[in-house]
Amino acid sequence: MTYLNHITEAIGNTPLVKLNNVTDGVKATILAKVEYMNPGNSVKDRMAIRMIEDAEKAGILKPGGTIIEGTSGNTGMGLALAAIAKGYKCIFTLADKQSKEKMDILRAVGAEVRVCPTNVAPDHPDSYYSVAKRLNEEIPNSFYPNQYDNLSNWRAHYESTGPEIWEQSAGKITHFVTGVGTGGTVTGISRYLKERKPELITVGIDTYGSVFKKYKETGIFDENEIYSYATEGIGEDILPKNVDFDVIDTFLKVTDKDGAVMTRRLAKEEGLFVGWSSGTAVYGALEYARENNLTEQDVMVVLLPDHGTRYLGKIYNDEWMRAQGYID
């Protein structure tokens, strides 16, 4: 018989899928790394299980413990699946801008969800960062993975996602594009790929209201760059330790609207029912390809982080999209 011992063994080996219909004016081959094929429907499954297993090896996470994390939803899902397989409890803090679907999904897999205000500074006591840290201090036998600064995050992608992309593209990849949030995905994959092909170009996709692009270009952490934005899962108002700016060649910013509209196009024109940051990454990738006149010899891989079921009440809801001014 062929079967898995628990659902976390299904993580990884997601496909590369060629984009055919949203690539007007682009000569390069554009391949999507479809990470919603992971069992938790997102790229975060990879680093979630790695953070848990590394904590177990280090003796930080003990039997019967509680995992406490600040998340935009997807890391929480990955952690929850690992917790079910290994017998842990979970408490997750989320900013109130995150979709209701994400909160409902986390509750469905047995997690306790604490909703925190979005429009507060990271060090504010009510921010989802601060609440997670405080709960970790208050609850005995608890573990705070801290995906932003936990280096198991990028190592998971160095050891799994990067090698998969290299093998699936037969080493022909010339450009790698991904949204940047905690930084683990972009850093781990880029380090692996650049070790094998130093001339490879990594394009980090940022959002307006985030600090990454200006920091990369100037070395200045500009608080004036920080303001509220709607796109979920990418951009930051902090500099996570997992972001290695040296392996990111350039950043490109994409508006909330452009990312949302492209997300809808990917579903309708490519059959890829993906999440908001996936559309953002593809929009930025195609813009970069056009502006830099990529040729038929170029192979660009764009990482699509999660699934559209996380956003049914937002970008897949016509009334919500009209209210935001994203569609007529």
Residues belonging to the active site: 44
Give the three-class secondary structure for 209.
coil
Contacts of 206 (CB under 8 A, 6+ apart): 179, 180, 212, 213, 234, 235, 251, 252, 253, 254
Rounded distance between C-alpha atoms, residue 84 and residue 25, angstroms? 46
Rounded distance between C-alpha atoms, residue 226 and residue 210, angstroms? 5
* Sign of the CA dihedral running 247, 228, 97, 314: negative
Residue 215, strand partner residues: none
Pair 67, 89: CB distance under 8 Å: yes
Rounded distance between C-alpha atoms, residue 219 and residue 290, angstroms? 27
Give the three-class secondary structure for 12.
coil
Query: Which DSSP helix (H) or strand (E) runs through 115?
Result: strand 112-116
The number of beta carbons lying within 10 Å of the beta carbon of residue 72 is: 24
Rounded distance between C-alpha atoms, residue 263 and residue 261, angstroms? 5
What's the chain's Rg over C-alpha atoms? 19
Which DSSP letter does residue 139 get? S
The number of beta carbons lying within 10 Å of the beta carbon of residue 141 is: 12
Rounded distance between C-alpha atoms, residue 270 and residue 22, angstroms? 8
Residue 143, strand partner residues: 67
Burial class of 17 by CB neighbour count within 10 A (0 to 12, 13 to 18, 19+): middle
